[in-house]
């Protein structure tokens, strides 16, 4: 965890219930900066409201929480500062909210990735890896899966570090040295 904390822009990806959020929270807390949570979830039903409450309860009282389901760029501009570390949990729910609002997913993702260099403080993004599963049976499901894959690629390019969490274990992807083979 210490290595990733040296970077100003970190993407934490992984499957559902892989430990992504817990890792991102621990990473932020290890920075000794004021931790800020930008939560993108909306409590549309009782089960989601319970999930949101559980996530809040898992964080210490030091955390400042802002809920922003759509205007993530504006929220990042307001919250990012040199003395703070912002955790965005999560890019996948943000993208889902944009899909429901009939926004241009590609343009929104590109705008977010382009904004990262201008932020005045460190940020950690949590995002789901959706490319390992089955091909969705509906057109909207396939559209979302494709948009999520493109968003993850854009964020990975814009971030200094990418960490994949599997079964609670962080695996640093970027930066990484690729093995060299001598012929």
Please give the positions annotated as active site: 55
Q: Answer whether 55's CB lies under 8 Å from 27's CB.
A: no
Tokens in use for 163?
């960490």
Sheet holding 64-67, edge to edge: 64-67, 34-39, 84-89, 123-128, 9-14, 161-166, 169-174
Q: How far apart are CA 25 and CA 33, in angstroms?
A: 12
Tokens in use for 177?
């040295």
């Amino acid at each position: 965890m210490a290595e990733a904390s040296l970077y100003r822009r970190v993407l934490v990806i992984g499957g559902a219930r892989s430990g992504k959020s817990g890792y991102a929270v621990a990473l932020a807390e290890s920075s000794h900066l004021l931790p800020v949570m930008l939560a993108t979830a909306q409590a549309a039903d009782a089960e989601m409201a319970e999930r949101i409450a559980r996530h809040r309860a898992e964080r210490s009282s030091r955390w400042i929480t802002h809920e922003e389901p759509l205007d993530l760029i504006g929220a990042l501009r307001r919250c990012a500062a040199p003395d703070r570390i912002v955790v965005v949990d999560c890019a996948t729910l943000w993208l889902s909210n944009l899909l429901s609002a009939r926004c241009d997913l590609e343009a929104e993702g590109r705008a977010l990735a382009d904004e990262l260099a201008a932020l005045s403080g460190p940020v950690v993004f949590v995002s789901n890896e959706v490319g390992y599963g089955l091909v969705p049976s509906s057109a909207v499901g396939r559209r979302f899966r494709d948009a999520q894959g493109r968003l993850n690629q854009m964020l990975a390019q814009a971030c200094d570090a990418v960490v994949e969490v599997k079964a609670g274990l962080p695996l640093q992807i970027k930066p990484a040295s690729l093995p060299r083979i001598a012929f």
